[in-house]
Amino acid sequence: MSLHLRDGLRTMFGYNATQDKQRRQSPATRTMREGKVLTPTKRKKLQATAQDQMRNHSFVAWLVRKHLDYVSKFHFSFRVAVNSDDTNGTAVDTLVNRIFRWHGAPQNLDYGRRFGRDELFRLFELEKVVSGDAALVKLTDILKLQAVESDLIAKGSVAQGDTKPAEYDDITDEGLIMAPDGAWVEQFAVCNRGDSGKDIVYDHMEPAANVIFDGYWTRLSSQNRGVSPLSTAINTVQDIHEGIEYNQVKAKMHALFGVAIFREAEETGELGGGAGATKETASASDTATDSNLDLNLGEVGFLDFDAADKIQLLESSTPSSEFVEGSYLFLQIAMLALDFPITVLDSRRSSFSGRIADLNEYEVSADAKRTKNRYVRQSYSDWVLDTIWNDPDTPWPLRRVAERNGMSLRDVQEASQWIPSGSPWLDKYKQIQGDQLAIEIGEDNIIDATRRRGGNFYQNIDKQAQAMQYAREKGVAIMVGSNRQQTVDEAIGRAVAKSIENASAEEESE
């Protein structure tokens, strides 16, 4: 037996998103590599529009800066476990930390000598967010990084008078030379802006091993260039910005035409004046001399109207409450491009507990972005350590000191960590109480709890030891812990005393 369905019922067995019912935009019919969807020409438009909004829209500029505050701040941490009678581990610790303090200065890190390490990596993330991806070229011979903006990784044109290089024809439209099977990038085409500063001119090919490259990805394997997460918010932000501008113009028009004066016609008894006009409107700066009305904004005016005359002030209700509330909705939609809740923009729209919940939700999203940036920084520190380790002319005795302690280059690189600065305190007292309780029941530990707020447990202990030593030398007592808590020294002392007491009891019993 066969089952025949009417045409109208056949759509019951399928995905509604695949059905074109002429009620909305037709469903997409093809899946392509992302580079074919976002062609070089379209990519330039997207990057130029995002850059323009960063220049002119305060909301976009703030949104990106706030994103950078949460995901691009890291501090360097290096610590090796050493025995109590071994001072070499401490020597490696001190030396590596000195190296990265030195290399963080603009004159030692940046080829352009403009940016320190924190600012350079912050701008690296900014370029990724706004333009989709970015690159840092390792200049190993001088141990510096050279920043390359996203649109300068391109095929570019050959400058007039220059000979086209042999590898030029192998460069893809995305500015890459791919492996034979197309699975990874072998070389990047690096361009410059030409003499005019507006052109994209081919400069040279850079091997992928010399490039720190990262971007925002939306596809698993069919994407070679990153795409800005702001792409989903660009049109919304543009509409909001234009709506604000139009409301400002409307408010100015209301202010310009601020007063309406109505006069009774002398002969006909109808509203009007002069040659049959029904009403006359004047700005606040006009003078109605024919009715003996003198409006002078520089003086206090008293108007004596005839019986049928009246004056009306044109009040502006711009922007309307509906526009303001609608703008908040659209701003929230735009902020979702970077996973921010609306309470980050306006804390008055939620309670304190609601803000805590929003921040916890955002932390989940921010963690993946911090991980990407930690990999970038790890690639940087591995390169610095490798270069110094293998440079016979370096003034840093890294290799000698590390090998004396039994550490290889890989050991030193793995002991070098980049710790994200975490999120700010909203209520420090309550949040610390929560961390303390979690530590007491074994749900958390003091090292991770310190890291979540951008601190370094080991550095805190070292600095506290220095402070306590200095206080002892000066004869000043410092209270550690509340009066209801025992300090570490007290806990150890009581444990030792208890152990001695138990041992004595066992001897007596024997």
Question: Which structure tokens are listed for 301?
Answer: 């005016």
Determine which of 203-212, 218-227, 273-282, 392-401 has the lowest per-residue pLDDT on average.
273-282
* DSSP letter string, 144-190: EEEEE-GGGBS--BPPTTPPPPTTGGG--TTSEEE-TTSSSEEEEEE
- The C-alpha atoms of residue 170 and residue 202 are separated, in whole angstroms, by 13
SS3 (DSSP) at 102: helix
Instruction: Quote the pLDDT of residue 497.
Output: 67
DSSP 299-347: S-------TT-EEEE----PSPHHHHHHHHHHHHHHHGGGT--GGGT-G
Range with the poorest average pLDDT among 237-241, 346-350, 454-458, 487-491: 487-491
pLDDT at 56 over 90: yes
> Cβ–Cβ contacts within 10 Å for residue 131, how many?
25
Cβ contact 330:342 at 8 Å: no
Which of the residue ranges 80-84, 236-240, 337-341, 394-398 would you say has the lowest mean pLDDT?
Answer: 80-84
Decide: residue 53, CB within 10 A, 0-12 exposed, 13-18 middle, 19+ buried: buried
Return the pLDDT at 206.
96
User: Which has more confidence, 104 or 467?
Assistant: 104
Q: Which residue has the higher pLDDT, 358 or 216?
A: 216
User: Could you tell me if 155 and 248 are in contact, meaning their C-beta atoms sit under 8 angstroms apart?
Assistant: no
Task: Give tens-digit pLDDT for 126-164.
Answer: 999 999 999 999 999 999 999 999 999 999 999 888 888
Whether the predicted pLDDT of 279 surpasses 50:
no
What is the pLDDT at residue 38? 92
Question: How high is the pLDDT of residue 305?
Answer: 66
Q: Which structure tokens are listed for 445?
A: 């530990």
| Mean pLDDT to the nearest integer, 489-495 | 60
Q: Is the pLDDT of residue 303 over 70?
A: no
According to the model, what pLDDT value does residue 488 have?
Answer: 55
Q: What is the pLDDT of residues 359-370, one digit of tens each?
A: 888 988 999 999
Residue 317 has pLDDT above 80, yes or no: no
Contact call for residues 409 and 385 (beta carbons, < 8 A): yes
pLDDT digits (tens, 9 = 90+) for 57-75: 999 999 999 999 999 999 9
For residue 415, pLDDT over 90 is answered with: yes
Q: Please, which residues have CB within 8 angstroms of residue 477's CB and are 6 or more apart in sequence? A: 471
pLDDT for 81: 59
Helix or strand holding residue 389 (H, E)? helix 352-389
Helix axes 352-389 and 58-71, enclosed angle (nearest 10): 60
| Residues, the chain | 510
List of E strands, 31-184: 74-78, 133-139, 144-148, 176-178
Average pLDDT over all residues of the chain: 83
Region 409-413 average pLDDT: 96
**Rounded CA Rg of the chain:** 35
Q: Residue 310's pLDDT is what?
A: 75
Distance separating alpha carbons of residues 60 and 56, to the nearest angstrom: 8
Write the DSSP assignment of 449-462 as a string of letters: HHHHTT--HHHHHH
Q: Which has more confidence, 269 or 450?
A: 450
Quote the percentage of the chain above a pLDDT of 70: 78
At 102, the pLDDT band (50, 70, 90 cuts) reads very high
Least confident of 263-272, 305-314, 404-413: 263-272
Task: Answer whether 240's CB lies under 8 Å from 327's CB.
Answer: yes
The pLDDT confidence band at residue 239, using thresholds 50, 70 and 90, is: very high
Per-residue confidence band for 353, with pLDDT thresholds at 50, 70 and 90 = confident
